[in-house]
């Protein structure tokens, strides 16, 4: 790394929306390349990174000086390289990449202090039970100290008990830096004794870590096969090697269980990075990443952009999960970028899933990734038996969705003291509200989408833009009163049916929109896990990794739901989702069963799910994609143009389609422009183009050349989505 003497020209990257680096003079004392700095920009002071030598040619006397060098670890060359490569890959300006990499508040503030509490040494005059608990907590924990709130919570007392002890000198109150390192994870602690295939898998992952080089591994194992236990061994090896580890989870609701498992394995909890973490804690995690102040962090996809000091392992759990694709701002796939980051910093990456994405499956097949399979469930648990319920031969009245066959099965489980899950991947009460007088479907004013009734909220909600309005009494079109009727089921409506059919059963609904906070959702999950419900009704959030030991029956209300539509991944997604949901059944000692209600039991995807022939399914799916030249055997790029004015959006799309020479040159084809499947969102008309290119070509330079030919003017927005996951 280069050092710049005081007064030398340096170029600085800022997170401001400028498409160039800014030139400054190095401050008093000079600065290193990579230093985080505060620089003057107009009347403001903004955060930046010293990117390299500044351009000559300016009058040095007129250059402003860097304000100050911040007291945080400088950006490492591999992080700069990572940001550059992600920016190149996703066609994102560097300023935006830096914003993504500095998403913690107060980085320009000086390190601040806060009060922490620890043992004071003097005996209290009078010992009460509450006081004793506080002292016990402080004695037991080898921590540097607690904040007032933490200590009171841990001891289960009010803060006044702690303050009383401070007065007596039994507890000491001291000022301490806010951004403290995290407690040390003890990698020498013994893990659970592993089953034979687990031990083999763990050994392979350890060997990868010990090699100290880049490598990617698909860890495939049915739900409950003990993947987590195995990759924690890789984490242990990484910690022993003195490097940091990152575990990405697709859903915050999964973290609490994971934290407990880490604590059981390593004696302490890891650092956390996700939207539920407080702002001060975010800053601490960000700073400690750079200082090596934690060994393990568990987080959401953006944790990939933390400034790790020495990252040796990235685990992407449930790697097939669609939430790893960021769908606004910088459009990146955290799974793919995890592999990129690992390759830059000589780390290992483990992609864990029961139902890997076809991309990952194909990379393993091609030998780019190692593949390790865990074939059986851990212990006595066996995989659920799968069966179809052919709705065509069931006696199902109108506006009812649970077939008599499924009802009988649920009753049997409840009588046995077990739990049943009814799965329907639709939030709200009913997906469509129709006027029985004129046939009008109530739509969103700003989007080309039906409003979804949410009876729990007593509102109609647009799932595209989030707009909601009270349920109207009269039809918005013909003004007939009392004629609006729900069509089709959502989980809330299903809950109503369940209450009628099983009046004495305890019912719990799990749908992301029913919970105001992650804490409330977590409480509901714990209630279910503890046996506090007989029937669980859930959307796709139940598919993700939760452990419900009493759950032995899964009923899929509409197995055909995901197969409609023309999405390239419809078959893959349906296969993954239903296999995952079915995997919730029978994780304890009692074998489970999954029942799929379907109108088309002969459909190849439904048959593949029932037979459990996963390899067969992947091979068939791979064959079809290969023949069509689509991912993972070809490349797609989505372009969305949006504007309040449809003609303007269409005109730009047409101009782009005509200017396709740079794309044609690399053998790519341009399709469109065409109105997007959801043709209007938030009042903006949407037009799509789709580019299909051979896998082997570098598509980004051609895209850049192409886009530079047609200027985007006025109120038009254009976004480019490399490797799109959604096509709406």
Q: Which residues bind ligand ADP (CB under 6 A)?
A: 192-195, 198, 221, 223-229, 378, 547
Least gap, CB of 422 to ligand ADP (angstroms)? 22
Picked from Zn ion, ligand ADP, none, the partner binding residue 394 (CB below 5 to 8 A depending on kind) is none
Q: Which helix (H) or strand (E) holds 368?
A: none
Site for Zn ion in 288-327 (CB under 5 A): none
Least gap, CB of 465 to Zn ion (angstroms)? 3
Q: Which is nearer to ligand ADP, 215 or 226 (CB)?
A: 226
Taking alpha carbons only, the member of 541, 511, 509 closest to residue 527 is 509
Least gap, CB of 686 to Zn ion (angstroms)? 12
Least gap, CB of 396 to ligand ADP (angstroms)? 34
Number of alpha carbons in the 13 Å side-chain half-sphere of residue 136: 11
Least gap, CB of 195 to ligand ADP (angstroms)? 5
First and final C-alpha spacing in the chain: 45
Picked from ligand ADP, Zn ion, none, the partner binding residue 462 (CB below 5 to 8 A depending on kind) is Zn ion
E-strand ranges in 328-384 read 348-353, 370-374
Sign of CA dihedral 239, 245, 248, 254: positive
Ramachandran quadrant class, 60 (left: phi over 0; alpha: psi -120 to 50; beta: rest): alpha
Picked from Zn ion, ligand ADP, none, the partner binding residue 131 (CB below 5 to 8 A depending on kind) is none
For residues 427 and 490, the answer to whether their CB atoms sit within 8 Å is yes
Least gap, CB of 455 to ligand ADP (angstroms)? 34
Site for Zn ion in 103-142 (CB under 5 A): none
How deeply is 694 buried, as exposed, middle or buried, from its count of CB atoms within 10 A (0-12, 13-18, 19+)? middle
Q: Which is nearer to ligand ADP, 348 or 355 (CB)?
A: 355
- The helix/strand/coil state of 601 is coil
Length of the chain: 728
Least gap, CB of 198 to ligand ADP (angstroms)? 6
Under rule CB under 5 A, residue 464 binds Zn ion: yes
Site string for Zn ion, 385-424 (x = CB under 5 A): ----------------------------------------
Ramachandran quadrant class, 509 (left: phi over 0; alpha: psi -120 to 50; beta: rest): beta
Q: Which is nearer to ligand ADP, 193 or 711 (CB)?
A: 193
- The helix/strand/coil state of 643 is strand
**Bridging pattern class, strands 271-273 and 296-299:** parallel
The CA–CA distances, whole Å, from 82 to 11, 49, 289, 724 equal: 19, 14, 16, 21
Of 65, 241, 465, 666, the residue at the interface with Zn ion (CB under 5 A) is 465
Picked from Zn ion, ligand ADP, none, the partner binding residue 195 (CB below 5 to 8 A depending on kind) is ligand ADP
Q: Cα(692)–Cα(699) distance, rounded to whole angstroms?
A: 10
Least gap, CB of 590 to ligand ADP (angstroms)? 14
Under rule CB under 5 A, residue 444 binds Zn ion: yes
Q: Which is nearer to ligand ADP, 194 or 705 (CB)?
A: 194
What is the per-residue DSSP string for 329-343? SS--BHHHHHHHHHH
Picked from ligand ADP, Zn ion, none, the partner binding residue 465 (CB below 5 to 8 A depending on kind) is Zn ion
Q: Which is nearer to ligand ADP, 257 or 572 (CB)?
A: 257
**Bridging pattern class, strands 44-53 and 68-69:** unpaired
For residues 447 and 680, the answer to whether their CB atoms sit within 8 Å is yes
Picked from Zn ion, ligand ADP, none, the partner binding residue 164 (CB below 5 to 8 A depending on kind) is none
Angle at 677 between CA 672 and CA 682, to 5 degrees: 110
Least gap, CB of 466 to Zn ion (angstroms)? 7
Picked from Zn ion, ligand ADP, none, the partner binding residue 229 (CB below 5 to 8 A depending on kind) is ligand ADP
Q: Which is nearer to Zn ion, 447 or 475 (CB)?
A: 447
For residues 432 and 425, the answer to whether their CB atoms sit within 8 Å is no
Picked from Zn ion, ligand ADP, none, the partner binding residue 293 (CB below 5 to 8 A depending on kind) is none
Sheet holding 468-470, edge to edge: 452-454, 459-461, 468-470
Under rule CB under 5 A, residue 447 binds Zn ion: yes
Of 118, 203, 240, 446, the residue at the interface with Zn ion (CB under 5 A) is 446
Interface region with Zn ion, contact rule CB under 5 A, candidates 194-202, 209-217, 463-471, 528-536: 463-471
Bond prior to 673 in cis (omega within 30° of 0)? yes
Least gap, CB of 212 to ligand ADP (angstroms)? 26
Q: Which is nearer to ligand ADP, 226 or 586 (CB)?
A: 226
Q: Which is nearer to ligand ADP, 220 or 493 (CB)?
A: 220
531 phi/psi in degrees, rounded to 5: 90, 15
Q: Which is nearer to Zn ion, 474 or 678 (CB)?
A: 678
Q: Which is nearer to ligand ADP, 276 or 549 (CB)?
A: 549
Picked from ligand ADP, Zn ion, none, the partner binding residue 192 (CB below 5 to 8 A depending on kind) is ligand ADP
Least gap, CB of 446 to Zn ion (angstroms)? 5
382 phi/psi in degrees, rounded to 5: -120, 160
Q: Which is nearer to ligand ADP, 9 or 377 (CB)?
A: 377
Ramachandran quadrant class, 699 (left: phi over 0; alpha: psi -120 to 50; beta: rest): alpha
Tell me, what DSSP letter sits at residue 564? S
Picked from ligand ADP, Zn ion, none, the partner binding residue 223 (CB below 5 to 8 A depending on kind) is ligand ADP
The CA–CA distances, whole Å, from 513 to 190, 276, 429, 461 equal: 40, 16, 12, 11
For residues 205 and 226, the answer to whether their CB atoms sit within 8 Å is no
* Residues contacting Zn ion: total by CB under 5 A: 7
Radius of gyration over every alpha carbon of the chain, rounded to an integer in angstroms: 28
Least gap, CB of 519 to ligand ADP (angstroms)? 22
Least gap, CB of 615 to ligand ADP (angstroms)? 18
Least gap, CB of 228 to ligand ADP (angstroms)? 3
For residue 159 the two structure tokens come to: 């803060």
Q: Which is nearer to ligand ADP, 410 or 585 (CB)?
A: 585
Q: Which is nearer to Zn ion, 490 or 632 (CB)?
A: 490
For residue 110 the two structure tokens come to: 């000086």
The CA–CA distances, whole Å, from 180 to 71, 213, 281 equal: 14, 30, 10
Q: Which is nearer to ligand ADP, 233 or 560 (CB)?
A: 233
Picked from ligand ADP, Zn ion, none, the partner binding residue 221 (CB below 5 to 8 A depending on kind) is ligand ADP
For residue 38 the two structure tokens come to: 């505060």
Under rule CB under 5 A, residue 462 binds Zn ion: yes
Site for Zn ion in 52-81 (CB under 5 A): none
For residue 557 the two structure tokens come to: 């209300």
Q: Which is nearer to ligand ADP, 280 or 547 (CB)?
A: 547
Of 394, 467, 497, 513, the residue at the interface with Zn ion (CB under 5 A) is 467
Picked from Zn ion, ligand ADP, none, the partner binding residue 225 (CB below 5 to 8 A depending on kind) is ligand ADP
For residue 304 the two structure tokens come to: 């990939």
Q: Which is nearer to ligand ADP, 47 or 202 (CB)?
A: 202
Least gap, CB of 380 to ligand ADP (angstroms)? 10
For residues 726 and 464, the answer to whether their CB atoms sit within 8 Å is no
Q: Which is nearer to ligand ADP, 198 or 597 (CB)?
A: 198
For residues 373 and 220, the answer to whether their CB atoms sit within 8 Å is yes
For 524, residues 6+ apart whose C-beta sits below 8 A from its C-beta are 508, 510, 515
CB atoms within 10 A of CB 636: 21
Least gap, CB of 231 to ligand ADP (angstroms)? 8
As beta bridge partners, residue 712 has none
Least gap, CB of 577 to Zn ion (angstroms)? 25
Q: Cα(106)–Cα(127) distance, rounded to whole angstroms?
A: 42
Binding site for Zn ion (CB under 5 A): 444, 446-447, 462, 464-465, 467
């Amino acid at each position: 790394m280069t050092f710049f003497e005081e007064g030398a020209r340096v170029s600085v990257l800022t997170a401001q929306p400028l498409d160039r680096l800014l030139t400054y003079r190095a401050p008093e004392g000079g600065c290193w390349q990579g230093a985080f700095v505060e620089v003057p920009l107009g009347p403001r002071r903004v955060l930046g990174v010293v990117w390299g030598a500044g351009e000559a040619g300016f009058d040095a006397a007129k250059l402003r000086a860097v304000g100050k060098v911040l007291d945080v670890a400088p950006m490492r060359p591999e992080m700069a390289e990572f940001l550059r490569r992600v920016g190149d890959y996703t066609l994102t300006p560097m300023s935006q990449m830096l914003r993504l990499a500095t998403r913690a508040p107060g980085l320009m503030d000086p390190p601040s202090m806060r009060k922490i509490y620890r043992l004071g040494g003097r005996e209290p005059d009078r010992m009460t039970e509450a006081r004793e608990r506080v002292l016990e907590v402080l004695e037991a924990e080898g921590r540097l100290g607690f904040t007032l709130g933490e200590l009171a919570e841990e001891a289960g007392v009010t803060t006044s008990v702690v303050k009383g002890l401070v007065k007596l000198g039994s507890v000491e109150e001291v000022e301490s830096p806010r951004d403290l390192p995290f407690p040390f994870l003890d990698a020498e602690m013994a893990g659970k004794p592993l089953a034979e295939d687990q031990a083999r898998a763990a050994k392979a992952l350890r060997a990868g870590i010990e090699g100290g080089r880049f490598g990617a591994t698909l860890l495939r194992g049915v739900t409950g096969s003990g993947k987590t236990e195995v990759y924690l061994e890789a984490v242990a090896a990484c910690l022993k090697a003195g490097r940091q580890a990152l575990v990405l989870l697709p859903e915050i609701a999964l973290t609490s269980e994971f934290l407990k498992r880490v604590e059981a394995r390593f004696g302490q909890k890891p650092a956390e990075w996700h939207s539920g973490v407080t702002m001060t804690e975010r800053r601490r995690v960000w700073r400690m990443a750079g200082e090596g102040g934690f060994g393990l962090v568990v987080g959401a996809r953006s944790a990939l952009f933390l400034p790790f000091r020495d990252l040796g392992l990235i685990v992407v759990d449930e790697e097939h999960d669609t939430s790893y694709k960021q769908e606004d701002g910088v459009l990146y796939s955290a799974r793919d970028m995890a592999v990129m980051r690992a390759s830059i910093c000589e780390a290992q990456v483990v992609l864990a899933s029961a139902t890997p994405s076809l991309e990952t499956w194909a990379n393993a097949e091609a030998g780019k990734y190692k593949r390790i399979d865990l074939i059986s469930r851990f212990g006595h648990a066996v995989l659920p038996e799968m069966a179809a319920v052919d709705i065509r031969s069931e006696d199902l009245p109108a506006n009812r969705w649970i077939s008599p066959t499924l009802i009988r099965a649920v009753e049997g489980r409840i009588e046995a003291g077990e739990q049943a899950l009814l799965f329907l991947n639709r939030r709200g009460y009913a997906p469509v509200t129709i006027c029985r007088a004129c046939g009008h479907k109530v739509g969103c004013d700003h989007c080309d989408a039906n409003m979804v009734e949410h009876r729990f909220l007593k509102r109609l909600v647009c799932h595209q833009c989030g707009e909601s309005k009270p349920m109207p009494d009269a039809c918005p079109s013909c003004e007939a009163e009392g004629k609006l009727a729900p069509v089709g089921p959502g989980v809330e409506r299903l809950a109503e049916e369940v209450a009628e059919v099983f009046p004495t059963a305890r019912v719990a609904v799990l749908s992301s929109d029913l919970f105001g906070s992650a804490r409330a959702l977590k409480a509901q999950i714990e209630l279910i896990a503890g046996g506090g419900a007989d029937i669980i009704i859930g959307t796709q959030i139940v598919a993700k990794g939760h452990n419900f030991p009493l759950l032995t029956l899964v009923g899929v209300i509409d197995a055909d739901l995901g197969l409609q539509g023309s999405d390239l991944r419809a078959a893959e997604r349906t296969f993954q989702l239903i296999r995952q949901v079915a995997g919730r059944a029978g994780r304890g000692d009692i074998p489970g069963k999954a029942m799929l209600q379907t109108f088309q039991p002969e459909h190849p995807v439904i048959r593949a799910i029932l037979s459990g022939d996963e390899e067969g399914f992947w091979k068939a799916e791979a064959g079809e994609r290969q023949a069509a030249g689509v991912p993972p055997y070809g490349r797609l790029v989505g372009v969305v143009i949006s504007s309040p004015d449809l003609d303007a959006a269409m005109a730009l799309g047409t101009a782009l389609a005509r200017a396709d020479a740079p794309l044609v040159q690399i053998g790519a084809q341009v399709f469109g422009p065409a109105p997007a499947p959801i043709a209007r969102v938030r009042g903006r008309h949407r037009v799509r183009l789709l580019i299909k290119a051979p896998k082997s070509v570098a598509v980004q330079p051609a895209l850049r050349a192409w886009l530079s030919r047609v200027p985007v003017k006025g109120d038009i927005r254009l976004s480019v989505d490399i490797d799109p996951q959604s096509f709406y």
